[in-house]
Each structure stands twice: as C-alpha cells, then as structure tokens.
Chains A and B, each alone.
Chain A
Amino acid sequence: MTAMLKLTNVCKTFNPGTINEKIALNHVSIELEENDFVTVIGGNGAGKSTMLNAVAGVWPVDEGSIRIDGTDVTGLPDFKRAYLIGRVFQDPMTGTAADMQIEENLALAYKRGKRRTLGWNVKPEERSMFQERLKSLGLGLEDRMTSKVGLLSGGQRQALTLLMASLQKPKLLLLDEHTAALDPKTAKKVLELTQQIVERDHLTTLMVTHNMRDAIAVGNRLIMMDEGHVLYDVRGEEKKKLTVEDLLRKFEEASGETFASDEALLSR
C-alpha cells in the first residue's frame, strides 16, 4: 500500500546566507498511512507549521521529495496541489472570502482543483447539499446561506473553512493550529467538529497544535518536532497512554532543553 503522504529528506532554510539564516526543516522524513490522524507538536520555531506549509506548497523546498497518495508534488505550487489538499489556517480570516456569501464560498470549495467553467457558480441542485452539510455543523448557518461570510464570528468562519476543506474529499487535510485564535469554548467546539468530520469522511489528517492536551486526546498518532526535525513519533495504544508530563520529559530527554512554549505549558 502506498503511503497517503510521504516526505523524504525534506529540507528548507529561510534567508540562506544572511544573518537571519534559519534551518526550518532539517531532513524531515515521515509517512502517513491512509486514515492516519496525526497531531504535530513542538516549541516555537520547531518547524511544525513549516512542515505543513511545505506539504501545502506555499514555497518550494530546498531538498527532498513530497508525495501525496503516490503523486510527486514537490515541483507544484500550492494552487496546483490544491486538488489533493484541504486546508484550515490559524487565522479564521484566511480560509474564507469575507465579501462573498456563505453559499458562494462553499461553491468555490466544491470546485477545488477542478476546471472553473462559465456555468453558474452556485447551482440550485448543489444548494440543498450545501445546506445539509451546513446543518451538520449545528451552528444554524444553513439558514444564512446568502449572508456575507464577513458577518460570521471567528469560530463560525473556522467551522465553515473546515467544511469547505472537506466538501470535496481531500487526500490530505492540513490543519495549522486552527483552534489557536479562538476562545477556549469555541476552540473546543471546532475541535469536536474536526474529529466528527475526519471520522465521518475518513480523512487522512495532519494537525499542528500548540495544545499538548489536544495533541494527546485527538488522533491516532503524535509527532513531536524540534529544530526542524522529528524528535518523537508515537501511535496507537502507546499514544493513548501519554500524559503531558510524559511529553515534556520526552522533549527534555531528546533535546536536552526544557520545552519552550508558554502556551503548551499553560495548557497542562
């Protein structure tokens, strides 16, 4: 069976040759099986989001290869990989078009990675399907199909982005600290929705988080990163038994430093 995502020796250095040179990814190799739900943790600057951006194709990597479901995407920019990938960003403003209606946003996402024709964007037969999907979020958005997305709260926008990312089943769902900008109650709700959608649609998921408790509670596998490489990779039963203290100890053992992220420590 081919891996759903395969990173082989991926390297990325920002600002090479300058005083701000930063090795963000240092020979990262990981493999995700189909239906893996992997949480990624690590301190600030560990390379978590950088790895996600490398997979999404925000910029080209310096070395290594990236394969999604057997397709080599290393040479493709983000919009050409989009047909394989659903994305939710940290900033709730990023994932949706504020000046456009909820149904227009959904229709745009429904065509992700497909040819955009001169046919009507929001088709009547799709509208009822959108409505049903919105209903499953339990936020009452199904009654506001023609509202501008800019009128929604951060949590609602994030839930909508999640729906858009999964509307056209992606090979890979990338979640980049997508609950970090939300208040604790909303963050909990969005995380629940995430689990619900991932389970229902059997999505292969990579979720970056600052919250160690979430990282342990969610998914079947956990990766800890530090200084641009994978420090610790745990799955299945072993992952279920983890505690935040275990993770902190692992981090100190492997890196010889204490874990430098206030948010992660505060969330104990």
Chain B
Amino acid sequence: MSLNFANLIGALPAGVAQGIIWGVMALGVYITFRLLGVSDLTVDGSFTTGGAVTVMMILGGVNPWIALLIACAAGMLAGFATGILHTLFSIPAILSGILTQFALYSINLAIMGMAANKGLPVDKYALAITSRHIPTAIITGLLIAAVIIALLYWYFGTEHGSAMRATGCNPEMAKAQGIDINVMKVIGLALANGLVALAGGLLSQYQGFADINMGRGAIVIGLAAVIIGEVIGSALLGKRMNFAGRLTFVTIGGIIYYLVIIVVLWLKLDSNYLKLFTAVIVAVFLSVPNLQAHAKSSFSRAGKMAKTVKED
C-alpha cells in the first residue's frame, strides 16, 4: 500500500470547503451547548431538514440564496418545537431534542416527496455554493461564515442577547433580573437550529443532493468542531480570546475536523470506521480539560505525595 502525498494535497481544498460548512453548523451547536448549556440533539434532524428544504425549493424554481433563508426558517421551526417540548411541557432538553429529531425523519422524507434522497442538477441552477468550483466555494463559505459570526457577535452583545447568555450561565440570576428564561431558551434553540439548517442547505447545494441521512451524527461533528476550536483557540490566544475570537475558532474547528477526516481517508482507513473515529476524537477532546484538572488534583497524586512525607 503506497500513500501518494500529492493526492492528499489535492484533496485538502475540498476538505476546507466542506469544513467551513460544518463550521457554520458548529456555530449553532456552540449556541446551545456552550451558551445555553443544553445538549441539543435536534440538529441531526434539522441539518437534513435544511438540506431537503433547500433542494426542493431550488427544484421548485426558488433562487438558491432565498432557498437557504427558507431552510433556515424551517430549522428555526424545528428548534422552536424542541424548545416548546422542553419549556412548556418540562421534558428534559436532551429528550426533547431526540423526540424532534425522530419526528423530523418522517417530516424530512415527506419534504423530499417520500424519497430517501433528491439530486440537484448542478449545471441547471446558479447555486450559492458548489463543489464544481472549489476556490469559489471556499471564498463564498468564508464570507457566509464571517457574516454569521458578525451577526452573532452583535446579537450576543445586545441587551436581549446578554439576557440569553445570563439564562445559560445562571438561570436563578436571570429570573431575579426579570428575564423569562423559558422564552430565552426557545429563542436560543430556534436560532441555533436555524443556523444548523442553513448549513444543511449549504451542504446540499455543495454536494448537489440532499439525503435523508446527511445529518446523522451532526451533533457529534458539531461538538468536535466546538471543542477542537476552543482547545486551539485557547492555546493560541489564551486569555486574550474574546467572543468574536471564540466564534471564529469554532468555525476553524469545523475546518480542522474535516481536514483530519481527509487525512484519515488518505491513509486508506476503512471509511466505515469514520463515525467510530469521530466519536473517539470528541471523547478525547471532551476529556482533555477534565484530565488536566485531574492531573493537578487527584487521589492517586495525593497518595503519591503522601509517600514522600517523612514521619518522625
């Protein structure tokens, strides 16, 4: 088995383009996971919803950019559903997300006319982003990511966005300041899933089709991007990291994740093991901060230190 280095270099640009798209999705995951403190599993479904809606809209003659906005709205609806299940009916957030995701499987099939996948004649439409021309795809992706990061930076700096951050950080404090934490959670979930669906729409245009399984594992990839971005960001910037920097690194985390995947594929590892590999990466990165803390303070360390004590 020989490895051709030129093949790897050749595959990198496509990896960057896809990575940016997953990076946009990771921004949505960041909102729920880090700012609201919720592990929202809706995203596996809403990502596909975004792809399905986008493809069907474009096939129906809608402008590909408008199709993305409609996909975003559809994703917000999915997040809204999860939010209502969680707040109004007091179902745990993780279970609410699973329920919505489960329901979305049927809904996504229905959107695609009961087909498991739907192709997009790439040459027939002026798509927002396509793998046919990767340099343009990268630039377009970066611009979209930059606009979204700017919007999020603005929103979370406003009175309303700050109230949402307070809700995630300390619900008791938020209530004492007169903030309706249920409304905030619903808006946050809707916002996050809107971004996730937008990313799904971008991916369906990029690859030229929507597939009922395209969102499977999206939450894990999103978490991977968030965590990789945070680890690298804090290593490079440390305490100088501000909110805009954090969002930027989350997107970069998506790109790095995808580049790692490209390398794995280049190493000719069986791609069937990709999900296992991703899960291991996420588990490792999630445990790093805990292991670091553990190294500083653990019983085994205390035990070792005790042995050095000289009793007289």
Is chain B's interface secondary structure helix, strand, loop, or mixed overall? helix
CB distance from B109 to the nearest CB of A (A): 38
Is chain A's interface secondary structure helix, strand, loop, or mixed overall? loop
Cross-chain contact of B177 among A89, A99, A112 (Cβ < 8 A): A112
Q: Counting chain A CB atoms within 10 Å of each CB, which of B162, B165, B178 scores highest?
A: B178
Q: Chain A: which residue is nearest B173 at the CB level? A: A97
Contacts of B157 in A (CB 8 A): 120-121
Are B162 and A117 touching (Cβ within 8 A)? Answer: no
The digit string for B172-203, where 1 denotes a CB below 8 A from any CB of A, is 11111111110000000000000000000000
Are A97 and B175 touching (Cβ within 8 A)? Answer: no
Contacts of B155 in A (CB 8 A): 118
What CA separation (Å) do A113 and B179 show in the bound complex? 7
The digit string for B206-231, where 1 denotes a CB below 8 A from any CB of A, is 00000000000000000000000000
Q: Chain A: which residue is nearest B155 at the CB level? A: A118
Report if B160 contacts A (CB, 8 A). yes
Cross-chain contact of A108 among B163, B172, B180, B181 (Cβ < 8 A): B163
Are A99 and B159 touching (Cβ within 8 A)? Answer: no
Interface residues of A in 26-43 (CB under 8 A from B): none
What CA separation (Å) do A164 and B165 show in the bound complex? 17
Interface residues of A in 96-143 (CB under 8 A from B): 96-100, 104, 107-109, 111-114, 116-121
Are B177 and A118 touching (Cβ within 8 A)? Answer: no
Are B165 and A79 touching (Cβ within 8 A)? Answer: no
Task: Please choose the segment from A80-88, A196-204, A238-246 that sits at the chain B interface, where 4 or more of its residues have CB less than 8 A away.
Answer: A80-88
Contacts of B161 in A (CB 8 A): 121
- The number of inter-chain residue pairs (CB within 8 angstroms) is 85
The digit string for A146-170, where 1 denotes a CB below 8 A from any CB of B, is 0000000000000000001000000
Contacts of B178 in A (CB 8 A): 79-80, 82-83, 111-114
Are A121 and B159 touching (Cβ within 8 A)? Answer: yes
Are A78 and B176 touching (Cβ within 8 A)? Answer: yes
What CA separation (Å) do A164 and B176 show in the bound complex? 10
Cross-chain contact of A118 among B158, B174, B175 (Cβ < 8 A): B158
Are B158 and A120 touching (Cβ within 8 A)? Answer: yes
CB distance from A153 to the nearest CB of B (A): 17
Q: Counting chain A CB atoms within 10 Å of each CB, which of B157, B169, B176, B178 scores highest?
A: B176
Q: Chain A: which residue is nearest B180 at the CB level? A: A79
Report if B166 contacts A (CB, 8 A). yes
Report if A95 contacts B (CB, 8 A). yes
Report if A255 contacts B (CB, 8 A). no
In the complex with contacts A79-B178, A82-B178, A100-B166, A111-B159 CB distance below 8 A = yes
Query: Size range of the interface on B?
Result: 20 to 34
Report if A94 contacts B (CB, 8 A). yes
Report if B170 contacts A (CB, 8 A). yes
CB distance from A95 to the nearest CB of B (A): 6
Contacts of B158 in A (CB 8 A): 116-121
Are A97 and B159 touching (Cβ within 8 A)? Answer: no
Are A104 and B179 touching (Cβ within 8 A)? Answer: no
Are B160 and A118 touching (Cβ within 8 A)? Answer: yes
The digit string for A51-95, where 1 denotes a CB below 8 A from any CB of B, is 000001000000000000000000000111011010101000111
What CA separation (Å) do A118 and B161 show in the bound complex? 8
Are B160 and A117 touching (Cβ within 8 A)? Answer: yes
CB distance from A22 to the nearest CB of B (A): 22
Cross-chain contact of A79 among B159, B169, B179 (Cβ < 8 A): B179
Question: 26 interchain pairs (CB within 8 A)?
Answer: A78-B176, A79-B174, A79-B176, A79-B178, A79-B179, A79-B180, A80-B178, A82-B175, A93-B170, A97-B165, A99-B169, A100-B166, A108-B177, A108-B179, A111-B159, A111-B177, A114-B178, A116-B179, A118-B159, A118-B160, A119-B159, A120-B158, A121-B157, A121-B159, A121-B161, A164-B177
Question: What 7 new A-B contacts, CB under 8 Å, besides A85-B176, A100-B165?
Answer: A78-B175, A79-B180, A79-B181, A94-B172, A107-B162, A112-B178, A118-B160
